[in-house]
Structure 1
């Protein structure tokens, strides 16, 4: 299990400050954690940096 207690979460630069639907990411111990910005204490998805790059390419190409 990855400890996310001290994770530095970042929103996308295109996120607005009006509380829109956003995801946040944090890099911890070679793993990328992803969470819903509206539910910071909710579930997190843990993936490798390579998997995140693949995910981003797949979404961009869709």
Structure 2
């Protein structure tokens, strides 16, 4: 039994809306997650640099 045009249109509209919502949510999630990783990476880099400097000092026999 074929669906009526209006029913088909309503379903498509609903589907499109759901997809748009999902896309928006994905964008928000990505934006909220991004700064953290950057902060963590810079923190790790700084810690690594400090550790390297310390180990050099330690090994130099000073």
* Global fold match (TM > 0.5): no
**Larger % of helix: which?**
2
Q: TM-score, normalised by structure 2?
A: 0.26
TM-score of the pair, normalised by structure 1: 0.26
- Looking at secondary structure, tell me which structure has more strand per residue: 1
RCO higher in structure (CA 8 A, sep ≥6) = 1
